[in-house]
Chain A
Amino acid sequence: MTLDSVRKSLQGSLVVIACGAGAGMAGNMLLESPVTVRWISPETRVAEVMKRFSAKGKVGRVPVINLLEAKESSTDSNVLFFDARSRLQFTQGHIPGAYHLSRSNFDSGYPELAEAIRASRQAIVYCSDSGCDEARRVAEALMQLGHENVGLFAEGWHAWMLGGLPVERVP
């Protein structure tokens, strides 16, 4: 076996690899969900969204929680989530375990949930995103009713979805 035969095989193999890479890229373009050169892994996507929505502070009197805190709280059975969007939006998808409590059903919904809110460690209210005002109104209403353990997930459903986090639907 000579060095020359190795060189020739190497050259041939590079041609094969180049052709294969081209075929692979062409085949990838035909896929329903192809990978692109600007592909972003799910981990990076969640990290970016969390970084974007990590602002802390208060809206009115209500403490604001960020996406990371909301995500961690979603697995805590002592934390309750309240979806302040419309019934239809809630039905189409909400944070797992969340209750529907909006301005439109507050009168009827709150009395049933009052005891559970009192017993919980925290009650987190959210709506679509920071542009909606429904969650803040519900959260402030809960605080006026004497619940101190209320949090506002200001970036809401939009951030939750962008983060690729679990979704529960009403059948």
Chain B
Amino acid sequence: MNWCWHAGRILLAGVFLSAGWAKGSEIQNFAEDLIHYGLFSDATAGVIAMTFPGIELTVGALLLLHRFTDAALFAAGLMSAIFSMVLFWVVLSGIELKCGCFGDFWEVTPAMGLIRALFLLGLSIILWARLKEKKRGQTDGLTSLVY
């Protein structure tokens, strides 16, 4: 893997770790932010608030440590896709609210949040695809040894 791929991996790890930490340290505020989206009931917002910070921290940690990177990148892509869909709906609805994505320390409008989520989705897909290509290359190499 070249340095560019590793830089992308560490960037993605940093983003997920900071997002998970920000949400987890102000979990009540995160749950309240979710309610303002108008998509979730109180109970659903509670469950999302309980679980999402942990998922983000786990994904971020795995990416940083370069362990189960394949699965972590795919999870990062899935989560970014979900964020993108929710923020796309918010932008379409014209609701003015706090994104809540990074607590209070990197707060942006829903439109900016959507751009950021799409960037993370793209980065996750590129990194995952490059990783798969590399793994396939390694397997092909082994296969050629057999023949």
Does B bind A? yes
Q: Which residues of A contact B (CB under 8 A)?
A: 1, 5, 8-17, 19-28, 31, 33-44
A-B pairs, 7 with minimum CB distance: A24-B54, A12-B71, A39-B46, A20-B55, A20-B58, A13-B75, A13-B74
Given known pairs A13-B74, A17-B75, the reply for A35 and B49 (CB within 8 Å) is yes
* Contacting residue for A35 out of B28, B59, B71, B74, CB 8 A: B28
Q: How far is the CA of A42 from the CA of B57 in the complex (A)?
A: 27
From the candidates B24, B42, B132, name the one contacting A24 in the complex (CB within 8 A).
B24
Q: How far is the CB of B16 from chain A (nearest CB, A)?
A: 10
Among residues of B, the one whose C-beta sits closest to the C-beta of A27 is B54
Residues of B within 8 A of A8 (CB): 70
* Chain B stretch 82-141: residues in CB contact (< 8 A) with chain A: 128-129, 132-133, 136
Given contacts A1-B132, A24-B24, contact A37 B58 (CB under 8 A): no
Q: Which secondary structure dominates where chain A touches chain B? A: helix
Cα A40 to Cα B57 in complex, Å, equals 25
**Is the pair B42, A40 in contact by a Cβ cutoff of 8 Å?**
yes
B70–A17 CB distance below 8 A: no
**Measuring CB to CB, which residues of chain B are less than 8 angstroms from any residue of chain A?**
24, 27-28, 31-32, 35, 42-43, 45-47, 49-59, 62, 68, 70-75, 77-78, 128-129, 132-133, 136
Across the interface, do B54 and A12 meet the contact criterion of CB distance under 8 Å?
no
Contacting residue for B50 out of A13, A15, A35, A44, CB 8 A: A35
B71 and A41 form a contact (CB under 8 A): no
User: Please, how many angstroms separate the alpha-carbon atoms of A1 and B70 in the complex?
Assistant: 13
- Contact indicator A1/B129 (Cβ below 8 Å): yes
Contact residues in A for B58 (Cβ distance below 8 Å): 16, 19-20, 23
A5-B71 Cα distance, complex, nearest whole Å: 11
Given contacts A19-B58, A41-B45, contact A35 B27 (CB under 8 A): yes
Name the distance in Å between A128's Cβ and chain B's nearest Cβ: 28
Q: Judge whether B42 and A20 touch: CB under 8 Å.
A: no
When distances are taken between beta carbons in the complex, the residues of chain A under 8 Å from B54 are 20-28
Q: Could you say which of A5, A12, A37 contacts B46, with CB atoms under 8 Å apart?
A: A37
Task: Return 29 A-B CB contacts under 8 Å, by A number.
Answer: A1-B129, A9-B70, A9-B71, A9-B128, A12-B68, A13-B77, A13-B78, A16-B68, A17-B78, A20-B51, A20-B55, A21-B54, A23-B54, A23-B57, A24-B53, A25-B54, A27-B24, A28-B53, A28-B54, A33-B27, A34-B50, A35-B46, A37-B50, A38-B43, A39-B43, A40-B42, A41-B32, A41-B35, A42-B32
B56 contacts A15, C-beta separation under 8 Å: no
